[in-house]
Amino acid sequence: MTQKCLSCGATLKKGSFVCDYCGSDWTPDEILRQAEIWSAAERVPQPFDQKEKVAKPANHALRVLLFIGLFFTCAPLSLLFMWLGLAWKKSTKIAMTVFVLAPLVAVLIFGLVYETVYSVKAETPKIDSTAPPPDERPYSKISPQRIHAEVFNKPNLELAARKKIWRDSFPGLWVKWNGKISQVSIYTTTQSELTLEPLDFTGLKIKVYFDPLQNTTLERLKPGEKVMVSGRLWGINLFDSQVLLADGALLGPAELK
């Protein structure tokens, strides 16, 4: 069987490993040496094409502008775009992620504490379709001052003790109170809200939940107006001294004593 030179293709003499035509040496030892040289050459990093690997400055600037726009409109989406679409250093991306997510996490933690540690809410809905009309409700004589004195103005009592006082004495009772409007929040897909301040003392807020069907009436109200509202004692928040009334109804101007 004839052997050919791997370099030029010429036929090698029988028993010879040296090509008479091009002089290539194909002895087993030389082949191994050449193989080692080729293997080492393959491991050497090859120069890359700058035009293909490096993003064009103009394109990069547009991506940064898009990231800034997303940051101010939807911060979580801007993070996703940053990780997938911007050629920033990993350390920079991590720093930006912490910068964006830290406030969001803080807000979530505060909201969780606000709703679980400081709040007490009834299991009944805020708006009950079977609730009696305002003129047929069995009103109690409980005043905002009494709730403030027995539940909120107890700095020496632990939160659990104040929550127990509320649960044992107040939920579900119907009241009608006077107050000065501090905020009107109109919603169409959930309960609208009216925030009041008691007329004759400070230190307590009253938030009343209204059926969206009453939005037309609520839209006429302005902050600073004094009104009388009706509602069912539904919950409290001890963090910001707030009493929550469900099934709210606007009875008219405040009745001044």
Taking only the tens place, the pLDDT of each residue in 14-40 is: 777 777 777 777 666 666 566 566 566
pLDDT of residue 127: 92
Bridge partner list, 174: 139, 232
Instruction: Name the H helices within 117-230.
Output: 144-147, 159-169, 215-218
Question: Is the separation of the CB atoms in 172 and 162 below 8 Å?
Answer: no
228/199 Cα distance (integer angstroms): 10
Reading the block at residue 151, the tokens are 């539940």
Report all structural domains of the chain as residue ranges with CATH numbers, in order of start.
Answer: 1-46 (no CATH), 55-116 (no CATH), 122-253 (2.40.50.140)
Residue 56 has pLDDT above 90, yes or no: no
pTM score of the predicted model: 0.63
Reading the block at residue 76, the tokens are 């979580």
Helix (H, G, I), strand (E, B) or coil at 151: helix
Q: Which residue from 125, 139, 136 is spatially nearest to 247, judged by alpha carbons?
A: 125
Reading the block at residue 208, the tokens are 């009343």
Taking only the tens place, the pLDDT of each residue in 119-166 is: 899 888 999 989 999 999 999 999 999 999 999 998 889 999 999 999
